[in-house]
Amino acid sequence: MNLNLHYKQGRPRHALHKFLLVMKLVIILITTAILQVSAGTYAQTITLNRTNVPLEKVMKEIRQQTGYDFFYDLKLIKNAKHVNINVKNASLDEVLDKCFAGQSLTYKIGDKVVMIKEKAPSFLDKVVQVFQSIDVKGRVVDEKGNPLPGASIKVKGTDVTAISDASGAFFLAAVDEKAVLVISFIGYEVKEVNVGQDLGDVALSIAVGELNEVEVSTGYQTLNKERATGAFVQISNSLINRSVGTNILERLDGITSSLIFPKSSNIGAPRSSIEIRGRSTLFSSAEPLVILDNFPYEGEYNNINPNDVESITVLTDAAAASIWGARAGNGVIVITTKKGKLNTKPQVNFTGIVNIGDKPDLYYTPRLTSEQYLEVERFLFDRGAFNTIINNGYGALSPAVELMLANRNGTLNATDYAAGIERLKGMDSRVQQLKYQFRTSVNQQYQASVSGGGTNQKYFLSAGYDKNLNSDVNSNNDRVTLNANNTYFLLNNKLEINAGIILTAAKNQGLGVGVGFNYPYTQIADENGNPLVVANVLRPSYATTAGNGKLLDWLYCPLDEINNRYSTLTSTLMDYRINTSLSYKILKGLKASAYYSYSRGNSESRKLDKVESYYARNEINKLAQINPATGAVFNPLPVGGILETMSSNIVSHNGRFQLNYSHEWKRHEINLLSGTEIRTTDNPGVGGNIFYGYNPDNSTNRNAAVNTNVDYPLFYGSSTSRLVFQPNIFENNNRNLSYYFNSSYSFDAKYIASISVRRDESNLFGVSTNQKGVPLWSAGVAWNVDKEAFYSFDLLTKLKLRASYGYTGNVNNNISAYLTADSQNNSPYGLVVSNIINPPNPSLTWEKVKNLNFGLDFSIKKDIVNGSIDVWSKAGVDLIGNSPIAPQTGLLQFTGNTANTLTKGLDVQLNSVNINKKIKWLTTFIYSYQRSEVTEYKVSNGSNFNVVSSNYNNPLKGYPFYALFSFKYAGLDATGNPQAILNGAPSINYAGVRNSVNRNELTYSGSAVPTSFGSLRNTIIYKGIDFSFNVTYKLGYYFRRNSLNNSTLYATAPTFTMSDYESRWQKPGDEAITNVPSLIYPTTAARTSIYQYSDVLVEKGDHVRLRDIRLGYTFNKTKYLPVRNLNIFCYVNNLGILWKANHKNIDPDAVTGLPAIRSVAFGIRMDL
């Protein structure tokens, strides 16, 4: 609020209790001023006898005796002369005259208010002398006429401010007649109006840009963005609610600069779920730190109900994020949940959304047709590839191979054989997959909330329910969320107590065992929809006869499994967090706060395979033993269901003690914040609990009958198997202690400097206590150029320059300086044994990220265009990296501080109001550019094959971490073999090509992740209609497409989802027209890899996507509806690609897997 406005107060004294008395008074004053509540009945005459006391003290006395409030600028009162006064039953005027005699100050009495001003004739004073003052009242409302409580009404050019009450009404006493009021409210455009006695309703319109007068939260404090030196991206509530996903973080996709959601690709490198300003670590967690209200959130993002979220701030540079220290290296996302508002009647909101998604596009992935696949099988069959399995008598064969075998054995004549093959040719497994395995997904979200507040208490309560029926027919999720938050202001507002609880309960269900469609012609149902037997592990002919009927049915009917849900995987999640805080204003400007948060999450999963399930039947039969003499069946694994359970808990305690101090004098303002924080996160759990012979009807199991010390021979083959039901107990514990200090200084509101220092200590393992800490710091400066006297550039109404520098860090608790081992009990002798998980590494240190940021915030012509531009660099130093190491050490790779990276980038956000009439057209443009490079990698890399297949393991210096390298392809030789460049010439020496370390024999295409990305969002508002659509783009990157792969096509468990089968080399001469190698049998992995990793398969990833369209209509409060406000909308997501660089019909976001499902949502939001 109005920070420059001060009330009468006591001079600082040394005795604490006196301070507290004063504070109490100040609070009363603030409260009364804000709420415009009358101070009560006071004597109107004054009796005073003081000698040589500060003016402030006298004003306090007067305040006590009269009830008049004093408004003054702190700068003025500081140098006032001390006062001698002796009056009895004097009037206010009389007393004040005496006090101000000889002062360079003067006063003016208003309605219960005394304004103190400079006497020296300033411009303002001249104005004041000219005008008479009037009292002003009015009401602040939104475009629909709803009141806006808490709006700020400021007299322009002064520090006089009022705040609107619950009904939006405000009142200002003794305002100059010709003054202008500046009315602002977060999220709305600032409005200036000329004063009048009754202004009536002043309507504010929703702000088009998110950058105006925004407050940003760091999780430790809330800053006015104008006074911040760091780089923040603020996502408003309306923007969060523009999309409809049930996962809060996913709603940031496509609307937030500097942030990208990595999508499926085939680079194999580790990716985090969200990347903020690139990747500044190699192998430590690259996940950003998520703060929910005050503390890090360790649970599943899915447990946060987006409808409970008020706003999100993304902290990107050091000045913004380094307050989070060692965990801030990957950026910080601060989520602030909704709270009540003081002096507000109960407000009830309801949201309901139904989102309907298409079935997955199975036809997207290229694959061999059934006919082509049959050709392959025939080829392999003729070369004896299946003989091993045929001879063992039990191994599964594909339906086609069964036909070929029967034909070869003479049990199937040529005509029937041909007919059989012909039948298979006509089948396409996808038809049945879409019919039996997938459905249209339906997600429903409902949320109701009530919020409000009185004079010293505010509250927010909400309940949400989500129900998702996913595209997999047996997969669904339910989620219930409850959120309650209550804040009390006690002891005359000196003490603020907050308590809240957020609770989430979720349940996910799915099939326990996936249904495989192993061949392109696999059929799981006949023409009448009856289940068909599918060969899985065993040949049906074997499965039917094995055990002569003494075993459980051994046939596999996937459709039965789907329809009857024989195998289910159910996971339940329960997560709650209790937040409490206590803050106390000790002195003017000094506040002490204590926070405590307790959260507990529990997740349990149960995989139940009923006795009817193929999984259970197979497990039981596999071990069954039939006594050849008696025919008696012994089942080492008791007949019954198999239940596997896993549970994991996360318990976190967070405590924080913090002091805030702010002080202003003259043109200076200083804000200090210092605190200490303690965190413990424990993550105990139990896995691998297996119950054999489980009967779900009465929850009994027969583990007592299981012998875990015997190797039972399998019913087929020569392997043996041991039964295990030993639970595996694990517990992870994180301990953190942090100390932090943050300060900012501003001069004249023009020049701002900030500094932040933090030390983090954690229970890094095997490191002595004094090495467990890392000190990190940052500093920033900002210059509000537009506030300079010389600045008179009308076009650019706002101009702010920012610069920051500093360090953030990454935590990697997985490695240690000492040789460490972990224990497990998987010894065949039943012993507890240990694995070495970390070799000795005496030189281990923390990973650090050095951040540099230059920013520019601007606004053109009253926000017709506003925006920000940030240029940044992030240098990862001492990053933990893998290095290949001579195998004689006993390791294949070594992990240590072996790497440095440097990422440079640019983030731009522009908001423009293209038309601002009855019809409004708004545009937001986001552009992020980032270029990364591994600048140091201490140990040399392996072969060229390592580079092309997994450069991320040992990234090459001078290239991005996500670099795409390929073999230089030299086409096919005369026999259809792929050739690559070796020693300057085409070669089929595959081992030579793979093992070469000459990097000149590689093609470097570029980054495998987008180097430029962003979005263009247009919004059109006309009356109650809002229409918007978001176009996203990703540019400047490459991907490797999948093509004909000899090795996986001919593998024992073949893959048939690949393209280019038709264009393969088939006869001499083809080498002139194709690059696709011939198929050979037996295949060699080296030959396959030359083509697979060749540069001819690299495609440009650039594309532009129509991400979503939203159409909404808001009914203004109408007499026809029993609600205050009603908004209905339709939201279509994932509409498809508008343009892409590759001509292969590949969605670069779905190089592997399927493209995101298109969905249509219908929603309603209403305020009662």
Round to whole Å and give the CA distance between 352 and 310.
17
List the structure tokens of 1096. 């001819």
Kindly state the smallest distance separating residue 10's Cβ from other proteins, in Å.
16
Round to whole Å and give the CA distance between 1041 and 1101.
10
Query: Toward other proteins, which CB reaches closer, 87 or 1086?
Result: 1086
Query: Toward other proteins, which CB reaches closer, 264 or 845?
Result: 845
Kindly state the smallest distance separating residue 704's Cβ from other proteins, in Å.
22
Task: Kindly report whether the peptide bond that precedes residue 1082 is cis, defined as omega within 30 degrees of 0.
Answer: yes
Query: Toward other proteins, which CB reaches closer, 361 or 682?
Result: 682
Query: Toward other proteins, which CB reaches closer, 436 or 595?
Result: 595
CA 183 to chain centre: 34
Query: Toward other proteins, which CB reaches closer, 261 or 596?
Result: 596
Say which DSSP state 1037 is in. -
Round to whole Å and give the CA distance between 306 and 312.
10
1113 backbone dihedrals φ, ψ, rounded to 5°: -140, 130
Helix (H) / strand (E) containing 96: helix 92-100
Kindly state the smallest distance separating residue 713's Cβ from other proteins, in Å.
6
Kindly state the smallest distance separating residue 945's Cβ from other proteins, in Å.
7
Query: Toward other proteins, which CB reaches closer, 493 or 1142?
Result: 493
Question: In terms of Cα–Cα distance, which of 1093, 1097, 1090 is closest to 987?
Answer: 1090
Kindly state the smallest distance separating residue 61's Cβ from other proteins, in Å.
22
Kindly state the smallest distance separating residue 733's Cβ from other proteins, in Å.
5
Round to whole Å and give the CA distance between 127 and 158.
12
Instruction: Report how far apart, in Å, the C-alpha atoms of 749 and of each of 670, 742, 786, 849 are.
Output: 11, 18, 11, 30
Kindly state the smallest distance separating residue 965's Cβ from other proteins, in Å.
17
Round to whole Å and give the CA distance between 645 and 607.
6
Is 217 within 8 Å of 182 (Cβ atoms)? no
Largest CA distance in the chain: 128
* Cβ count near 556 (within 10 Å): 25
Looking up tokens 């650019």 gives 796
Residue 411's Cβ-count burial label (10 Å; 0-12, 13-18, 19+) is exposed
Is 611 within 8 Å of 617 (Cβ atoms)? yes
3-class secondary structure, 768: coil
Query: Toward other proteins, which CB reaches closer, 304 or 948?
Result: 948
Query: Toward other proteins, which CB reaches closer, 193 or 385?
Result: 385
Question: In terms of Cα–Cα distance, which of 967, 1010, 1017 is closest to 992?
Answer: 967
Round to whole Å and give the CA distance between 619 and 694.
13
Query: Toward other proteins, which CB reaches closer, 394 or 1113?
Result: 394
3-class secondary structure, 254: coil
Kindly state the smallest distance separating residue 839's Cβ from other proteins, in Å.
5
List the structure tokens of 323. 């307050």
Kindly state the smallest distance separating residue 685's Cβ from other proteins, in Å.
10
Query: Toward other proteins, which CB reaches closer, 194 or 708?
Result: 708
Kindly state the smallest distance separating residue 827's Cβ from other proteins, in Å.
6
Kindly state the smallest distance separating residue 408's Cβ from other proteins, in Å.
15
Query: Toward other proteins, which CB reaches closer, 9 or 816?
Result: 816
Kindly state the smallest distance separating residue 564's Cβ from other proteins, in Å.
33
List the structure tokens of 279. 């990747």
Query: Toward other proteins, which CB reaches closer, 71 or 712?
Result: 712
283 backbone dihedrals φ, ψ, rounded to 5°: -125, -5
3-class secondary structure, 492: coil
What would the DSSP string read from start to end of 470-518? Answer: -SBTT-EEEEEEEEEEEEEEETTTTEEEEEEEEEEEEEEEEESSPPP--
Round to whole Å and give the CA distance between 281 and 277.
12
Round to whole Å and give the CA distance between 1010 and 962.
10
Query: Toward other proteins, which CB reaches closer, 547 or 1024?
Result: 547
Kindly state the smallest distance separating residue 730's Cβ from other proteins, in Å.
6
Pairing label, strands 133-141, 198-203: parallel
Whether the CA torsion 313, 318, 323, 325 is positive or negative: it is: positive
Round to whole Å and give the CA distance between 1163 and 1113.
11
Is 720 within 8 Å of 670 (Cβ atoms)? no
Kindly state the smallest distance separating residue 889's Cβ from other proteins, in Å.
4
Query: Toward other proteins, which CB reaches closer, 836 or 1138?
Result: 836
What does the H/E/C string look like for 440-464? CEEEEEEEEEEEEECCCEEEEEEEE
346 backbone dihedrals φ, ψ, rounded to 5°: -55, 130
Query: Toward other proteins, which CB reaches closer, 789 or 832?
Result: 832
Query: Toward other proteins, which CB reaches closer, 90 or 592?
Result: 592
Rounded (to 5) percent helix, strand, coil in the chain: 20, 45, 35
The residue count of the chain comes to 1168
Looking up tokens 């660099």 gives 873
Which segments within 630-714 are labelled E, that is strand? Answer: 633-634, 641-665, 668-694, 712-713
Is 82 within 8 Å of 56 (Cβ atoms)? no
Whether the CA torsion 992, 994, 997, 1001 is positive or negative: it is: positive
Whether the CA torsion 710, 714, 718, 724 is positive or negative: it is: negative
Kindly state the smallest distance separating residue 675's Cβ from other proteins, in Å.
9
Kindly state the smallest distance separating residue 596's Cβ from other proteins, in Å.
9
Kindly state the smallest distance separating residue 1052's Cβ from other proteins, in Å.
8
Kindly state the smallest distance separating residue 896's Cβ from other proteins, in Å.
10
